Amino acid sequence: MRNTSRRYQGGLALALLASAAIAVGGSALAQEAIKIGVLEDQSGDFAAATMVKVHAIELAAEEINAAGGIDGRPIELVIYDTQSDNTRYQEFMRRVLQRDQVDVVFAGFSSASREAYRPIVNQFDGLAFYNNQYEGGVCDANMIVTGAVPEQQFSTLIPWMMETYGNKVYTIAADYNFGQISAEWVRNIVAEYGGEMVGEEFIPLGVSQFSQTVQNIQAAQPDFVVTLLVGAAQASYYEQAAAANVGLPMASSVNVGQGYEHKRFTPPSLKDMYVTTNYIEEVDTQESAAFLEKFRAKFPDEPYINQEAANSYIAMHLYKQLVERAGTTDREALRAVIAEGDVCFDGPSGRVCLDPKSQHMSHTIFLARVTEDHSIEFPTVWENIEPYWLGEAGCDLTQNDPSEQYTPSSPPPGN
Amino acid sequence: MDLLPTAFAVLYQFGDAFAFLVIASAGLAVIFGMMGVINLAHGEFIMCGAYVTVAVARLGVPLPLAILTGALVAGLIGMLIERLIIRHLYHRTLDSIVATWGISLIATQGVLIVLGSTMQGVGTPLGSITVGSLSYSTYRLVLMGMALVLLLGLYLLFYHTRYGVVSRATIQAPHMARALGVDTGRIYSLTFGFGAALAGLAGGLYAPTMTMVPTMGATFIVESFVTVVVGGADIFLGAAPAAAVLAVIRASLTAWQGQLFGQIGLLIAVIIVIRVLPGGLSGWFLRTGR
């Protein structure tokens, strides 16, 4: 009797377990999570500018999940720390695409890291969002770029600076693809507007001592200096230039908007730094205030909410819209939605839209000026600038997919 | 351009490169030269000195005092690490390299986790001076002076004090020194701590001119290793002349072709020296001197 009772109980337990498993399996099937890989630098030389991107993605994921997920499916983030190291990017990109089987990847700060992982995304035919401003020119169907590009940042900034301060320009740039190609853009725009490059110097990443560079700049007597410096080590330039009393206005596409140098350095070392950015936390609009409030509520200790944080947040919402409109996470279906040309989002930086030809994003560009006490003012704003260069140069991802990066000196073939 | 301002500009750049090489490499040279330990955590002792300096200076303590505090804290941590880890690895060069590398990784990541990705700096004091058409940071002139004071101080310490004699005896013949009643363990501990304190001093001196991030020590590493490798084991016969030679190479190449060529010049100098003078400059001086 005891025996049967035990057997009976055992059977009951088994049945219970089985039914529970079916219930769990069933519900998982009904709303299988959408997996998003996040590869950003949470340590190393770039961490200061990129930790906030991870937080922005977490914020957006929490928000979207609380509102019912993407098309009823919850978001699951797969986050790895890429340590400001290009080989880590390649390693982790293989891992998220092969082992973790993510639906989409949000990845990359430096252009070197992007070019390191891009062939892997192509190889496994994945989809990656690059949420960073950069030197432009990536024409690749596997990539969606939400960061600003030179026609948005330099074609606005350089003519404005030349009109305000004069025609003689000196560029110092980080010595890798970002700095070299950005410097080429600056050189071209300066020539186009009848200015003169009085000097150009490329600084290896990791260099922190700038005495000679400061002296070269002073000797060349430019009207303003274009600073395209990257990473924490190179940021030492501002302190050293200020200590030597260089006193020249500076123009940049990367400072303040990424590395919040105006918060980290002692005033007035960044006085008269001008930056074109699509978002920084000083932007004083209703959308920005709402974004900041949500961000600070979840991450009260965040040192600075920069343009890359806004772009990452926007990218999450754009992805949600793409998947919901396509009804699937299949990349070609998502691209068909982009090709309709009306994928837009009203986010922290105002209204932004995806361009079907280049899969880049339109931006409202703010000109930020750092004042003597390191507060920010906005002398001018350029509304809604399209990422037009790639399309005009001959990149059309709705027709073909060259998976190349083009520059003004090596444009798409046949043009 | 007039002759005098031009001469000053050239001298300033040379002095600036020289000061950086001497100050950055002194701690490494002492630990390597006196103890034969290749300290890959050198950059992190520099970072430690810089962080302590800035933290103390921001409390309102005068900068020179803050810098000394930074050096002191780095030295104490150095002595602690010597007691716990390095002590067990003397005469095991490869093991000590791995151990100090591990310490450096732990320090960098630990600071990142505990103190965050950046820290606000203190700003460079003393303003600037103008010579001819160019202006220069006065603080960097002070750094040049500090490099000379540092070399003089080290010379006096190692050649004119009891600690100096005993420590050199400990390095050259540890068994004999012990037989004569020297507490060699204490000397090792003091010397490692002293090297770490010199690294901390480097961090403190350069902290006002740099970005405060956990990885800041890494920007000193190449220059300090290059100086010590070119110089060889003896800090006076080696590191000081090596710094002078490398400063000339670096300053002139940077002035001529920019930072990249300055870096390349330094590295080529190392390759040539390793090939031609395996013992570094000091090994060559000692050989030809005999």
Predicted pLDDT of residue A25: 42
pLDDT at A370 over 90: yes
pLDDT per residue as tens digits for the range A92-145: 999 999 999 999 999 999 988 999 999 999 999 999 999 999 998 899 999 999
Please write the tens of the pLDDT for every residue from B112-140: 888 877 777 777 787 777 777 777 888 88
Where among A227, A256, A277 does a domain terminate? A277
**Same domain for A177 and A102:** no
pLDDT for B13 equals: 83
Q: Examine residue A352 and state whether it is found in any structural domain, yes or no.
A: yes
Q: How far apart are CA B229 and CA B275, in angstroms?
A: 11
CA distance B261 to B266: 9
A-chain residues near B110 (CB < 8 A): none
Does the residue A17 lie in any domain?
A: no
Q: For residues A244 and A140, what is the distance between their CA atoms, to the nearest angstrom?
A: 44
CB A146 within 8 A of CB A311: yes
- Complex prediction ipTM: 0.78
| Total structural domains within chain A | 2
What digits encode the pLDDT tens for the residues A195-239? 899 989 998 887 888 888 888 898 889 999 999 988 778 888 888
Same domain, A311 and A337: yes
Same domain, A297 and A340: yes
Domain extent for A328? 34-148+284-362+394-405
Tens digits of residue pLDDT in A34-49: 999 999 999 888 888 8
Domain containing B147 equals 3-214
Could you tell me if residue A400 is inside a domain?
A: yes
Instruction: Looking at the structure, tell me whether residues A210 and A356 fall in a common domain.
Output: no
The reply to whether A240 touches chain B by the CB within 8 Å rule is yes
* A232 to chain B: closest CA residue: B211
Q: Measured between CA atoms, how close is A241 to chain B, in angstroms?
A: 8
Q: Is the residue at A307 inside a domain?
A: yes
What CATH number is associated with residue A174?
Answer: 3.40.50.2300
- To the nearest whole Å, the CA of A221 is away from the closest chain B CA by 10
Model pTM? Answer: 0.82
Asked whether residue B237 is assigned to any structural domain, the reply reads: no
Q: Is residue B178 part of a domain?
A: yes
Of A233, A264, A303, Cβ closest to residue B121: A264
Whole-number percent of chain B with pLDDT over 90: 19
Residue in chain B lying closest to A237 (CA): B210
Whether A73 maps to a domain, the answer reads yes
Does one domain contain both A205 and A271?
yes
> Are residue A155 and residue A144 in the same domain, yes or no?
no
User: Which of A263-267, A271-275, A280-284, A405-409 bottoms out in mean pLDDT, i.e. has the lowest?
Assistant: A263-267
Q: Which residue, of A251, A277, A303, is where some domain finishes?
A: A277
pLDDT category at B93 given cuts 50, 70, 90 is: confident
For residue B259, give the nearest of A48, A204, A236 by CB distance.
A204
State phi, psi for A2 to the nearest 5 degrees. Answer: -55, -45
Q: Are residues A157 and A255 in the same domain?
A: yes
Residue B193 falls inside a structural domain: yes
Task: Classify residue B220: in a domain, yes or no.
Answer: no
How far, in Å, CA of B54 to CA of B185, rounded? 33
Q: Give B-chain residues touching A213 at CB under 8 angstroms.
A: 254, 258-259
Largest interatomic CA distance in chain A: 102
Residue B259 is assigned to a structural domain of this protein: no
Same domain, A224 and A106: no
Distance from CA of A323 to the nearest CA of B (A): 35
| Domain presence at residue B289 | no
Count of domains forming chain B: 1
Residues of B in contact with A239 (CB under 8 A): 121, 123-124, 208-211
**B30 in a domain, yes or no?**
yes
Assess if residue A245 is contained within a domain: yes
Residue of A43, A233, A240 with shortest CB distance to B219: A233
Domain boundary among A277, A310, A337: A277
Are A183 and A295 in a shared domain? no
Task: Enumerate residues 6+ apart whose C-beta is below 8 A from A284.
Answer: none
- Chain B, 15 to 44: residues with Cβ < 8 Å from chain A are 16-17, 20
- What local confidence, expressed as pLDDT, does residue A198 receive? 93
